[in-house]
């Protein structure tokens, strides 16, 4: 996984905070590739579950390592 950021956007006449997640992988040639990007209301477990399931539906397989900086949310989702 890669970049996780919280941004403020204009929505429905007000400013709201959203989580932006960018998954980055390393291919067999050692080059980094963007695997996916998602915007959600928060970085809660349901967000991560859907984000990771979407990557798998699009063909992600053979994951050897997941690194997370968001506490326990991603490890619970991956396990």
Q: For the chain, which residues make up each domain, given as ranges?
A: 4-78
pLDDT, mean of each 10-residue run, the chain (79 residues): 70 87 88 90 82 91 75 55
Q: Which residues contact 21 (CB under 8 A, 6 or more apart)?
A: 1, 3, 4, 37, 38, 39, 40, 43, 47, 51
Q: Is the pTM of this model over 0.75?
A: no
Contact 21, 3 (CB under 8 A): yes
Tokens of 57: 């539906």
């Amino acid at each position: 996984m890669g970049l996780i950021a919280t941004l403020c956007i204009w929505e429905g006449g007000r400013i709201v905070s959203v989580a932006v997640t960018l998954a980055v992988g390393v291919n067999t040639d050692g080059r980094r590739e963007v695997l996916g990007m998602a915007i959600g209301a928060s970085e809660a477990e349901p967000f991560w579950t859907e984000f990771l399931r979407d990557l798998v539906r699009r063909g992600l397989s053979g994951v050897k390592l997941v690194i997370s900086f968001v506490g326990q949310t991603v490890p619970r989702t991956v396990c």
